[in-house]
A and B are shown apart, each in its own frame.
Chain A
Amino acid sequence: MIALLIRDMRLAMRAGGGFGLGLAFFLIVTTLVPFGVGPDAEILARIAPGILWVGALLACLLSLDRIFQLDFEDGSLDLLATSPIPLEGIVAIKALAHWLVTGLPLTLAAPFFGALMHLESPGFSWMFVTLLLGTPALSMIGAFGAALTVGLKRGGLLMSLLVLPLYIPSLIFGAEAATRGMAGFNANAPLLMMAGITAGSIALLPFAAAAALRVNLR
């Protein structure tokens, strides 16, 4: 399983792997918003958590269809399915690899990009914490969506339609926790809800995604 993780990370880092693409997209989204909304620091600071969350979510979506599609096309997925690693494990490892090359860099970069949005100093750590707890769910839910649409031509668009609504709970609680935390209120409730969503998706979705893959491999 470690071998699969290393391979997926290596593929992402090499040419055409898409590493950095999500990060660059995230940067562009966060720089576009001040152009659209105007330079008013007060407004920007108020909408910053929401914008950063939406930006992270879209950046995450960008690389989701690579999770299974490429392996499906070159036949690796057939071979992996007959390998000693259970399909559920394959899904979990691939979601983890996706998080390590997408979610984690976004989490680390969010405080810096927040500065572009006039985010105040307590906001930096709140953005970091909420994204750290929330982005694993984005990768896991995304892996499920990718498993459902693997093998479809132009499946990426359909996958976005399937996956984005499923991201809504994480988005609501994540942005809410960050907003409350920055304003100095108690943010435990939304934070725990979001952590719960993440824990739940990591526990359940590998099984659902593996079942979807089995159907799609037939």
Chain B
Amino acid sequence: MDFSASLTADTLTVTRGGVPILQNVSFTLSPGQVLILRGPNGSGKTTLLRTLAGLQPPLAGRVVSDPETVTYGAHADGLKATLSVEENLQFWASVHGQTDITQAVEGFNLAGLVHRPSANLSAGQKRRLGLARLLVTGRPIWLLDEPTVSLDVASVALFADAVRTHVAKGGSALIATHIDLGLKADSFDIGPYKADPAKAPDSNDGFDTDGFEGAYL
């Protein structure tokens, strides 16, 4: 896997439910960089991350990256309750063409849990397993949405270590979080990019949201 991939947002306008919430967002995530996404609840961090991950199209602007280099870590961990920890990780590893899960298991202190069904894990253990999935994807760019939710202090440190190792290899991470991870990181505040509905750029498909709204009023 080529670990020198970068991701660039170019005057991006992202929408949630058809309403623009962030506009003219531009930044570049370079190899070896950690970027912390800051912004209050509901400011559009998740929407921005989903757009960058390619799960939804931007209203305007573009995302410059190879989709094969990006992995997305959402609020939901994507775990199957009836599969064991090992089976869950093994599955995501094979989907991404990887075979080795030992590094992920050890990195997130899951060795004692590998044969446990994920249904029996605590919230924090599930989260650790969800984060361990990032390692088995073998992808250089991590887009993480509040990765430390329900983690204790020790697990947050494990996570920070994993990010450090990842970055040392040339990977990069864009992390939406409210806490201090103790990482050497740049900060990116999305506050100034809040969309002004009156000045929203025309949508790519010509769908006029202003008129749409007016139809109900």
Q: Do A and B come from the same complex?
A: yes
Is residue A84 contacting chain B, with contact meaning CB distance below 8 A? Answer: yes
- Given A84-B97, A218-B55, the answer on whether A75 and B74 have CB atoms closer than 8 Å is yes
Is residue A41 contacting chain B, with contact meaning CB distance below 8 A? Answer: no
Complex contact B80–A7 (CB within 8 A)? yes
- Across-interface contacts of A32 in B (CB, < 8 A): none
Residue ID in chain B nearest A215 by CB atoms: B56
Is residue A14 contacting chain B, with contact meaning CB distance below 8 A? Answer: yes
Is residue B67 contacting chain A, with contact meaning CB distance below 8 A? Answer: yes
- Across-interface contacts of A79 in B (CB, < 8 A): 71-72, 74, 78, 92, 133
Complex contact B78–A78 (CB within 8 A)? yes
Within 8 A of B (CB), among A22-52: none
Complex contact B70–A82 (CB within 8 A)? yes
Main DSSP-derived SS at the B contact region:
loop
Q: Mark A66-79, 1 if CB is under 8 A from B, else 0.
A: 00000101111011
Within 8 A of B (CB), among A78-113: 78-85
Residue ID in chain B nearest A79 by CB atoms: B78
> Distance in Å from the Cβ of B84 to the closest Cβ of chain A?
10
- Given A3-B95, A7-B83, the answer on whether A82 and B78 have CB atoms closer than 8 Å is no
> Distance in Å from the Cβ of A79 to the closest Cβ of chain B?
4
Is residue B68 contacting chain A, with contact meaning CB distance below 8 A? Answer: yes
Query: In the docked arrangement, what's the CA distance between A81 and B74, Å?
Result: 13
- Across-interface contacts of B161 in A (CB, < 8 A): none
- Across-interface contacts of B72 in A (CB, < 8 A): 78-79, 82
Is residue A11 contacting chain B, with contact meaning CB distance below 8 A? Answer: yes
- Across-interface contacts of A4 in B (CB, < 8 A): 91, 95
- Across-interface contacts of A80 in B (CB, < 8 A): 95
Option from B50, B76, B87 in Cβ contact (under 8 Å) with A10: B87
> Distance in Å from the Cβ of B153 to the closest Cβ of chain A?
25
- Across-interface contacts of A7 in B (CB, < 8 A): 80, 83, 87, 91
Residue pairs across A and B with Cβ atoms less than 8 A apart, 15 shown, are A3-B94, A4-B91, A7-B83, A11-B82, A71-B78, A74-B77, A75-B76, A75-B77, A78-B78, A79-B72, A82-B53, A83-B95, A83-B96, A84-B95, A84-B96
Minimum-distance CB pairs A-B, first 7:
A75-B76, A3-B94, A76-B78, A14-B82, A218-B56, A75-B78, A79-B78
